[in-house]
Amino acid sequence: MKVFSSSFPVDWMTVYFGGQYYMPGDPKFQASVPWTNKKVRQALNMAVNRQEILKTIFAGEGTLAYVSGWLPISEGWNPEWEKKFEQQYGYNPAKAKELLKEAGYPAGMKLKLLAFTNPGESEGPQVADALGIYFKEVGIEVETEVIDWARLRDMFRNKNIQCCLWPNIISWRPVEEWIRGAYSSKATGHIFEDEFLEKNYLTLTQAVNPEERNRLARAIGDHLFNEFADIPLIWFYNEVVVNPKVVADWKYPGIGAGRSTHFHLLKAVK
């Protein structure tokens, strides 16, 4: 058999923080949740060895994610994210401990990780286990629970996931659609919500000038990057296995309408 890969990454894995509902007056916001402190979010990012996760769990098949949902082809992509990533997000347990101390957790804390599996997305529990090891190294006690995806989805859609962090694999989509689903107050994902995102998202939905749209999308991406809104991990390409006696070639981007796309570009063996 032969493996064909999409020309663009199609999915990314990120670890999300529950309970980030910063819109004024949101009754679901709980200030006692440790990661509503930005230093805690940065500390948890710097506790994670992304290269090791990529090499071991994913056999080196992927590239690092810098802002969840953004690729270089996306509106608003900022090359500065990659340049600054190592300093602000890179694996540094000593710095993570220092940040936790500054945030008021010198003895660490307890947190819960939720994980699930879906067809073609079986790595969630393994990533959660790895995170538990990394977090323990900086003084954090971790409880991990594998639950059904439908239950986890209901928790974050109903804003009842203040308890936990969870890794998730999501498919690429245009920036405005990703922001709508994850960061607006009318979102179904309720991953990170605040006044800055709400204002700029609404302006983006009404903008038609490409330069203005790019500026707004970049401002939103910069905000998420600087706020350590989540723990971005890895982008993946779509890979398919074919019989080389039947399929000669298949060059396809992978993004757009799912993972496997552009079937008209399949070339059969003559």
Residue 221 Ramachandran class (φ > 0 left, ψ -120 to 50 alpha, else beta): alpha
State both tokens at 116.
Answer: 């699930």
122 three-class SS = coil
> What sign for the dihedral angle of Cα 32, 34, 39, 45?
negative
> What is the structure's pLDDT at 76?
98
Q: Beta-carbon neighbour count of residue 190 at 10 Å? A: 26
> What is the structure's pLDDT at 118?
86
> What sign for the dihedral angle of Cα 247, 253, 256, 262?
negative
Q: Beta-carbon neighbour count of residue 188 at 10 Å? A: 12
Cβ density class 20-30: b for 16+ within 10 Å, e for less? bbbeeeeeebe
Where do the domains of the chain lie, and which CATH numbers do they carry?
A: 2-268 (3.10.105.10)
Report if pTM > 0.85: yes
> What is the structure's pLDDT at 86?
98
- Distance between CA 228 and CA 212 in Å, rounded? 25
Exposed, middle or buried by CB within 10 Å (0-12, 13-18, 19+), for 150? Answer: exposed
Task: Identify the residue whose tokens are 């401002």.
Answer: 219
> What is the structure's pLDDT at 257?
60
Residue 219 Ramachandran class (φ > 0 left, ψ -120 to 50 alpha, else beta): alpha
> What sign for the dihedral angle of Cα 98, 100, 104, 108?
negative
Rounded average pLDDT per 10-residue block, the chain, 270 residues: 93 97 96 97 98 96 96 97 98 98 95 92 95 97 96 95 96 94 88 96 97 98 98 94 95 79 92
Residue 36: what are its φ and ψ, rounded to 5°?
-75, -10
